[in-house]
Amino acid sequence: MSRRLRAIAASFVVARPAGIRIRTRLQLSATDQAVLREVGEYLGHLAGRDLAERCGLGLGESTRFRRKRALIGEATSRWAGTISRTSDNQWQRGYRNLLDHRTGLRRAIRRLQARLAAPVGGRAGRIRGYASRAERWEKQRRMDLLTGRLARVDARIAHGRVSVVRGGRRLLRARQHLEEARLTEPQWRRRWEAARWFLTADGDAEYPLGNGTILVHPEEGWCELKLPRPLANLANRPRGRYRLSCGVGFSYRADAWATQVTSGAVRYDFVYQPERDRWYLDASWTHPRRPVPTLDELGAWPRLAVDLNAGHLDCVVLDPSGNPVGAPHTIP
């Protein structure tokens, strides 16, 4: 009996990562934690409201600048810009997820239709039918369910109705299955609230240290953030800023981060893990875009060849002509 073999795709060059993201742990005081919690909860409320408005617009114009102007009075221009940009990105990602979901449903329905068209226990060309009438009936029922689901997805795509859960759908579903998730209701509540905080600031190369909202000095090791206007009373620095009491520095790729801070934009995210009661600060930035070299261009340089085997990898360096240089090295 002939079997269809998997096609081998043509060789291609993988582009380098578009950016870098590094993390450091923060040893915050009780006051620092209280301030970050209050800021995160307040901005999270604004982010949720803005996201709901963006989702309500559907396929219409995103009206980001109008939404940003409405948020400026309740936060700052930089916070408002980050919130509105995040809402637009979440809607776009949700819409692309709907398109991918529709593609998957159509693929599954085509497969079911092909096998349902074949006789029970027989074949229609290269398509094998189901083994029994009971199995065929179950698959017919399955196809009817998928067809109804596809119709609902098509309707949502036509109107741009996107469903986005701030905090994550998986964590939301865990609320109804606390025993399976091994969580108590207070533990779940802490995770849910922390996941819905908003403590993200986009970078801008025009500002000192690459960010106008969250600043980290690579040499002096301090970190401070611009507070939203209603929370300016929490400031311990001039112009409505709050400086953390702990030192902040990155150990991984510290030189690259310090260079980026002085020459470009850096985005910062405060992250809280309630299950471990730990605070982190993430720094991220993008690489300058460069054209991806072709295989012919890379062929002029030595290469590392890796052979994938069951239980181990075999690696060897190849010269530009493709000949091995030295003995191969095995990695269990």
> pLDDT tens across 113-142, in order?
999 999 998 888 888 889 999 999 999 999
Is the separation of the CB atoms in 213 and 225 below 8 Å? yes
Give the confidence band of 317 by pLDDT, cuts at 50, 70, 90: very high
* 324 domain residue, yes or no: yes
* 320 domain residue, yes or no: yes
Q: Print the domain residue range for 319.
A: 295-331
Whether the per-residue pLDDT at 1 is higher than 50: the answer is no
Residues 6+ positions from 253 with CB-CB distance below 8 Å: 20, 22
* 71 domain residue, yes or no: no
* 102 domain residue, yes or no: no
> pLDDT tens across 72-99, in order?
989 999 999 999 999 999 999 999 999 9
User: Pairing state of beta strands 324-331 and 312-318?
Assistant: antiparallel
Torsion of CA 155, 160, 161, 164, to 10 degrees: 140
Tokens 């510290």 -> residue: 254
Q: Please state the domain count of the chain.
A: 1
* 226 domain residue, yes or no: no
> pLDDT tens across 24-67, in order?
999 999 999 999 999 999 999 999 999 999 999 988 887 889 99
* 314 domain residue, yes or no: yes
pTM of this structure:
0.83
Is the separation of the CB atoms in 248 and 223 below 8 Å? yes
* 310 domain residue, yes or no: yes
| CA count, 13 A, side-chain hemisphere, 14 | 2
* 309 domain residue, yes or no: yes
**Strands (E) located in the chain:** 19-26, 123-124, 127-128, 200-201, 214-216, 223-226, 241-243, 267-273, 278-286, 303-309, 312-318, 324-331
**Strands (E) located in 64-183:** 123-124, 127-128
Is the separation of the CB atoms in 194 and 187 below 8 Å? no
pLDDT on residue 5: 77
